[in-house]
Structure 1
Amino acid sequence: MSVRDLIPWGRDRSPGVRGGETLDPILSLHRDVNRLFDDFFGGFGVRLPAAGFGGPGWPQTDVAETDREYRVTAELPGLEEKDIDLTFQDGVLTLKGEKKVEHGGEGARYSERYHGRFQRSISLGPDVEEDKVSASFRNGVLTVVLPKSPEAETRVKRIAINGR
């Protein structure tokens, strides 16, 4: 028996699943333990850290800055405009929302899709012209443009760096 025979899947093999039933007992145990922790911590309103979608900092965002504006882009797959609450106060952009539970088809055994409430706050500073902030939502991507005030560039102080 080679070591490769002990690995439940590899580059050329996928996990053993037949009709929603896991054939590999180690993989099945792994999923059951994950589900146990999710159920336990879910009762306290706490989510365990996870990589990618649904993990800390979800939704994933990009923040770009130019001399004239900030541009914040957030990926919100599966949501609609009515599910999103966007505010800007005291230099902080806050994105809140909720992704509703979608029940799987008949016989679904587990779900890896994120659902529930989320909130992200991004500090941008006081140089934003609040009355000119705009947002658009298309294909699950939210884009917020926050123009800077004309005085913002004049308030920047360049600092010389001395080499000794």
Structure 2
Amino acid sequence: MTLPVRHRPGSLLERRFPGFGWGEPVAAEFDELFQRMTQLLEGTAAPGELAWSPAADMRETDDAYVIEADLPGIRRDDIDIEMSERGLRITGEYKEREREGVLRRSTRRTGRFEYQALLPADVRAEEVSATLHEGVLTVTVPKAQATKPRHIEITES
């Protein structure tokens, strides 16, 4: 996710439109709006530490919700899964590898990551299971008995 650049006093916004009244009061309003947007986009990340969200799919079967998250190169010990009443939270850290030489270009994401999902129905949180295979984390959250679809037979009267 790309975040907008923070406004700083004396920035292009103020220098570019000096005759149009785009001074500190208007810039301060934009700065406040930017801060609110940043807080919304950062979610629960610690101050100064942005968490990225891995690509993930959530599908529903008759018995469970299955979440598959792409976490290539991340070790099982660096992943934490928490389950609340209906909420699933996957967090962890992809640690930068030590390399020799000068890194000229990098497009791999590193650092803290976080994925959150609010499940649409009651689940059996105590029976959640997870596997990590070939860089894909699969979390299976069984549905509560009451939420499973049930076929209703129609009888003649």
Same-fold call, TM cutoff 0.5: yes
User: 2:124 & 2:92 partners in 1: Cα distance?
Assistant: 24
Identify the match of residue 123 of structure 1 among 115, 118, 121. 118
TM-aligned CA deviation for residue 154 of structure 1: 6.6
Structure 2 vs 1, CA of residues 69 and 112 (structure 1 numbering), >3 Å: closer, same or farther?
same
TM-aligned CA deviation for residue 108 of structure 1: 2.3
* TM-score, reference length from structure 1: 0.57
Q: Map of 1:49-88 to 2, 5 A cutoff?
A: 58-88=53-83
Q: Map of 1:1-164 to 2, 5 A cutoff?
A: 44-46=48-50, 58-153=53-148
Is the contact between residue 90 and residue 126 of structure 1 (CA under 8 Å) also seen in structure 2?
Answer: no
Deviations 1:4-52 (A, max 9, x none): xxxxxxxxxxxxxxxxxxxxxxxxxxxxxxxxx8xxxxxx4458xxxxx
Q: How many residues align?
A: 105
Output the amino acid matched with 2:127.
K
TM-aligned CA deviation for residue 86 of structure 1: 0.3
Identify the structure with bigger relative contact order (alpha carbons < 8 Å, sequence gap 6+). Answer: 2
Structure 1 runs of 4+ off > 3 angstroms? 44-47
- Farther off after superposition, 145-154 or 60-69: 145-154
Structure 1 gaps of 5+ residues are 1-36, 38-43, 48-55, 156-164
User: 1:107 & 1:122 partners in 2: Cα distance?
Assistant: 39
Structure 2 gaps of 5+ residues are 6-47, 151-157
User: 1:95 & 1:118 partners in 2: Cα distance?
Assistant: 8
Output the amino acid matched with 2:126.
D
> The residue matched to 1:95 in structure 2 has which SS?
strand
User: 1:86 & 1:97 partners in 2: Cα distance?
Assistant: 9
User: 2:60 & 2:121 partners in 1: Cα distance?
Assistant: 14
User: 1:111 & 1:103 partners in 2: Cα distance?
Assistant: 13
Output the amino acid matched with 2:65.
Y
* TM-score, reference length from structure 2: 0.59
